[in-house]
Every structure is written in C-alpha cells, then in structure tokens.
Amino acid sequence: MAKNKTKSAPPAAKIRVLSDVDLALLEAREAAATGQIRKAWLSSLVKRQYARRATIAANERARSDRSDRTVHDLDERGFTGPGGGRMGTVMPPAEYRGTTVQVAGLYPWSVGAHAPLLGTPLGLHLATGAPVCFDPLSAKEAKAITAPACFIIALNGFGKSTLLRRIALGDIAAGVRVLWPGDVKPDGRKLTEAVGGQVNEVGYGGIGRLNPLDPGPIGAAIEQLTDPLMRQQTSYALHARQVNIVAALCEIVRRGELLDFEQTLLASAIRLLYTPVADGGAGFGLDQPAILDDLIELLTSSNPELLEDAVAENAAEYFAAIKGLRRTLRALVKGRFGEVFNGASTVRIDVNAPSMCLDMSSVPQDDAMMRSAVLLTGWNEAFAAIEAAHVLADAGLGPNLAFHVLMDELWQVLQSGQMMVGRIDALVRLQRALGVGITFVTHSIAELDKAGALGLLERSRARIVGPVPEAELVRLEKVIQFSQTEKTMLTNWSNDADLNSPIDQKTARRRKAAEKAGVGPGSKQQTIADPVAAGTGQFLLKLGEGNRPGTPFKVWVPPVERESGIHNTDERLDAATKDRENAGVAA
C-alpha cells in the first residue's frame, strides 16, 4: 500500500475570494438593488463567490485523502499542470452519425449499428445496447422486407428455440395466430399451454393419428359456401392438397420419386373416393372420410378410368403396372405408419386459439422416416386450416386472421430426398397472398444444399444466423453476404462455447454455492442468474439482399418468462443433476 504523503497547503491566494465582511456587503447591495439588470449582475457576483469557496473546499478535501498521487494547484480554471485533476467517472465518448460521403474515411462499417424496431422485442444490440425488435409479419407491414418469410440457422444448444418462443409470444400479444405444426422436441407445447392454446398429440402407439385423405377444415369450409364457383375452386384446392400429401408420404417410405403414371393414378383414385356412387365413385365425404385402406381397395378394383391412366389393355397388365405403387401404399398402412396415417384423424386445429401445437415428440429420434412423415403431414394440416380460414373470410363467413407458422427441424424432411423440396414448396406457396408468416428453423443448411433447396433460403427475406462453424459459413455465403467482421463474430460465438471462459466457470461455481445457501433458482432471494455457454442467445439479423450490414443482438428473456419455465429445455438433465447431488449428500 502506498504511504500517505505530506502535502503542502493549497495556494489559496491563487483563487481570489472576498472576505466574509465584503461578501455580506455584496449580498446587501444585491438585496437593495432595484433595477433588473443591476440586480442580476450583483446576483451573479454573489454566486461566483460561493462557487469559488466550494472549489477551495474541494481542493482541501482532495489533499486530505489517502491517495499517493500528487494533487496539482487549483485556481479559477481548475487544476494546473499536465495530467492535473482526478475524475470519479470516465465519461463515454460522443457518438456521431453521418453518410458514407461525410465519413468516407471510416467506411465500410464492419458491423451494422442500426437496431430495427419491427415488432417483437428480441434483445439488445451487442454494440450499442439499443433494443432490437423483429418478427416477419411486422417487418412486412413496415415494408422492411417484401415477404414475411424468415430463416433461423444456428448450432444446437445456442438458443434457437428461445428466440423462436420470443417471436411467438410477440405475435400472440399482437393477435396473430401461432402454429407449431411439427413440434418434435417439443419447443412450443409449454408456451401453448401457458397462453391457453390448443395442443394435439401425434404419434404411434395409440397417441394420435393424421389421416392424409381427410377433407378436414377445408372440407368443412366447402360445406358452408353457397357460391358454386367458390365451392368448385376450393374443392380443386383440397384435391390438390390431398394428392400432394399422399404422394409425399409414398416418396418418403419408398425413398424415391413416384413415376408419372403413379401420380396420375393417385390423383384419379383420390377424386373417385369422394365422387358420389351415382356418378361412379366410392361415395366418401366429410362425415365419412376415406382412409388409405380405401384408397388401396379402389386402386385394385380394376376401375376403367384407372386402367386408362395406367395405359393398360387388360386387368393383368394393369395389376403388373401398379405393383410398385401397391407395395408403397402397403408400407403406409402396416405397422407404425398404419397406426398414424391409416385411420380416422384425431387432430382438429382450432384457428380461434392463440397458439396451436401438434406435439410429435413421442416419435423416437432415431426413426427418421416416421419423423419426416409426421412433420410433413403436420405442416400440411396447418396450412389446410389456414387455407380454410381464409376461404371463410373471403366468403364473409369468418374474420380475417393473420397466421405465423413455425416450421422447425426442416432438415429432417429434406434428408428423405430431393423430391421433398417440391412437396414442401407446394405446401407453403403463396404465403404472402394468404397472409401467413413462415419461419424455418434448422441447425445447418447442409441438407438444403444437398437437396438443391437453397431456393427456400433465398426466398426468405429475413435471415437470423447464430453461432455456426466455418464450414457452415462457406455454405451460407452462397446466399448471404457477410463482412469479414461478421464472419469472425459468428465463428467466435461457436468456438468460445466449447471452452467457456474462467469467468463463466467461476459464475457456475458461485451459482452452486448460492443454491446450497438457499438463494438458487426458484428462490425468492435469487441474485445470481444461471450461467450459459458463451455465444448462447447471440444472433445476427440480416434483412434483404446485398452487403447491407447485419444487426448483432443478444436475446433477452424477461424474468416473468424465465420463471414460467417455458424456455427451460433442460428439465431432464437438471432433474438428473439434482438427484445425483442429493444422492451424494445422503452418502
């Protein structure tokens, strides 16, 4: 510790002040003055004397403290000499804004400093601390993007789901209907239950079914329409949707594309299923939907129209031609696929609910084909419900609603093959005309690149990129332009997480100690936030095309959301850790 130095008395003579007697006389003159200008002048002289006395007193206090730093002499203009004076705080530097012409020497900016205010509050700008707000529908309304489509890309465990729930909560607060049509983790179930939404479960083992041939909400809408033209147009749209989803399921189990005549056969057979018996059809309808077994039975009935579609001269030639299609359909009605897709649908989406979730988490992670099938069918069901709501609104039979569809785990469908790209595109097309915002979520675009589906990313007018490895950046640069600083930032976020800093490790130890003392998570006395891996919750928002700088931000979760538990995706691990620690204490 530095020794206390003896300091010389301050040269008070350098600061000229009036004596107490003279100051009293000056104050008396001020009080007796009558003219406004003279009184203001005398008042300023009195204030100056008191300010000088305060300066002398401050100098005395500075010289009497225990600092070993030399205090320079003080006069009317402050401390003298180089480096004179001591400040209790360091003032932040002033910020200025200008065009690229005015500040050309500093351009190009490596990272964007603007913070968009486009809907839901997501977090704070990493450079300026300004609030960053964004959701696809609000950005479209503000003309910041041309279509309400967004892509979120980041490695596992870096907060994609938390960011998605923040956007969803903002939409719900604004009256937008949120759909989680393929919740395989699940990420949206807790939120949906917390806001009084609707949860449907889908999975084999008697959990829930999705009948791809069920007319569903579109069929119900058709029954309410009175305009013949609208009924006909909507019926065509329903038929196209049924053909697309059945063909997609066939391609998933086949792991290859259907032949041209097979698709024609499916289209004709599905139409005949819902054609009245008097007109040569099977007579199924909204009250009695057909199932896949009925489709197989019709295909094997030697219907004359189907023989023509297969260009078969006789029944023997026809059966030989459809053998492959029959095998594929048999795979869909047997075993676990049959439990989910071959029966009356148990899912009915209520578009009046603030949030709708199709919980598919019961399907095992290692069952890739089934996961692809239930995801695609769930997406189809969601867009069918949206299309039905818009049909009723156009007919004046219901309100105009805005929807936001959150399509997570896109890669699990794309891994089934390149043919899935067209099927997905057929499901989500015209989202701008339908008043639908879409957010795709994936941890890598490798599957998109492999399947030739980068067009999905290109058509997304907003991209939110989190921590990613360098290999992923190479793929992303085919579609998105990054500055060198942005690329370094994104890779550093992922690299730092693998070797957390000593400060973060110390925070974790402090948290454990706080929990043992009764001030841990769940306690009213909690003062230490749970530590997270470096880079978690940090994202770069890129809007539009070109080399426009992105907006780096960190997701902020309000305390009420954290306490609700909707963002906790580590419940099983936390429970295991707690049991392990309790066992150790007992031992």
Q: Does the residue 259 lie in any domain?
A: yes
Residue 229: alpha-carbon gap to chain centroid:
39
pLDDT given at position 555: 93
pLDDT given at position 101: 65
Say how many C-beta atoms besides its own lie within 10 A of residue 195's C-beta: 16
Q: Which of 163-177, 420-434, 556-570: highest mean pLDDT? A: 163-177
Under the banding of pLDDT at 50, 70 and 90, the label for residue 238 is very high
Residue range 396-419, pLDDT digits in tens: 999 999 999 998 877 777 776 666
pLDDT given at position 223: 94
Whether the CB-CB separation of 324 and 275 falls below 8 Å is answered with: no
pLDDT at 281 over 50: yes
Helical spans, DSSP H, in 15-129: 20-32, 36-63
Q: Does the residue 45 lie in any domain?
A: yes
Whether the CB-CB separation of 361 and 227 falls below 8 Å is answered with: no
Say how many C-beta atoms besides its own lie within 10 A of residue 112's C-beta: 21
In this structure, of 64-78, 538-552, 553-567, the range with the lowest mean pLDDT score is 64-78
CA-wise closest residue to 453 among 415, 428, 408, 421: 421
Q: How many helices (H) and strands (E) does the chain have?
A: 23, 14
**Positive or negative, the Cα torsion across 160, 163, 165, 168?**
negative
3-state secondary structure 37-65: HHHHHHHHHHHHHHHHHHHHHHHHHHHCC
pLDDT given at position 110: 47
Whether the CB-CB separation of 165 and 141 falls below 8 Å is answered with: no
pLDDT given at position 210: 93
3-state secondary structure 189-240: HHHHHHCCCEEEECECCCCECCCCCCCHHHHHHHHHCCCHHHHHHHHHHHHH
From residue 403, give the alpha-carbon distance in Å to each of 29, 148, 171.
Answer: 76, 10, 9
pLDDT given at position 429: 57
Residue range 457-506, pLDDT digits in tens: 888 889 999 998 888 899 999 888 898 889 989 888 877 655 555 555 55
State which of 318, 344, 370 marks the end of a domain. 344
Q: Two tokens at 306?
A: 């189907």
pLDDT given at position 222: 95
In this structure, of 172-186, 300-314, 505-519, the range with the lowest mean pLDDT score is 505-519
Region of residue 157 (left: phi > 0; alpha: psi -120 to 50; beta: else): left
pLDDT given at position 411: 76
Report percent pLDDT > 90 for the chain: 41
pLDDT given at position 175: 94
Q: Which residues pair with 57 in a beta bridge?
A: none
Residue appearing with tokens 């889908």:
202
Q: Does the residue 521 lie in any domain?
A: no
Q: Does the residue 96 lie in any domain?
A: no
pLDDT given at position 536: 84
| Average pLDDT of the residues of the chain | 82
Q: Does the residue 445 lie in any domain?
A: no
Cis amide bond preceding 181, omega within 30: no
State the DSSP string of 394-420: HTTSS----EEEEE--HHHHHTT-THH
pLDDT at 518 over 60: no
State which of 344, 361, 394 marks the end of a domain. 344
In this structure, of 155-159, 190-194, 244-248, 537-541, the range with the lowest mean pLDDT score is 155-159
In this structure, of 125-129, 455-459, 522-526, the range with the lowest mean pLDDT score is 522-526
Report percent pLDDT > 70 for the chain: 76
Q: Does the residue 270 lie in any domain?
A: yes
CA-wise closest residue to 141 among 161, 122, 116, 110: 116
In this structure, of 257-266, 405-414, 418-427, the range with the lowest mean pLDDT score is 418-427
Q: Does the residue 463 lie in any domain?
A: no
In this structure, of 86-100, 166-180, 361-375, 448-462, the range with the lowest mean pLDDT score is 86-100
Under the banding of pLDDT at 50, 70 and 90, the label for residue 283 is very high
Under the banding of pLDDT at 50, 70 and 90, the label for residue 1 is very low
pLDDT at 121 over 90: yes
Q: Using CA atoms, how far apart are residues 583 and 577, in angstroms rounded to an integer? A: 10
pLDDT given at position 463: 94
State which of 344, 368, 399 marks the end of a domain. 344
Q: Using CA atoms, how far apart are residues 195 and 186, in angstroms rounded to an integer? A: 16
Show the domain range for 300. Answer: 211-344
The domain tally of the chain equals 3
Residue range 304-323, pLDDT digits in tens: 999 999 999 899 999 999 99
Under the banding of pLDDT at 50, 70 and 90, the label for residue 526 is very low
Mean pLDDT score, 163-189: 91
Under the banding of pLDDT at 50, 70 and 90, the label for residue 294 is very high
In this structure, of 48-52, 288-292, 450-454, the range with the lowest mean pLDDT score is 450-454
Mean pLDDT score, 144-157: 88
pLDDT given at position 11: 47
Query: How many residues are there in the chain?
Result: 587
C-alpha torsion angle, residues 470, 474, 477, 481 (rounded to 10): 40
Residue type, 186: P
Residue appearing with tokens 């939409």:
171
pLDDT at 341 over 90: yes
Q: Which residues contact 127 (CB under 8 A, 6 or more apart)?
A: 111, 113, 552
Under the banding of pLDDT at 50, 70 and 90, the label for residue 183 is confident
Q: Does the residue 540 lie in any domain?
A: no
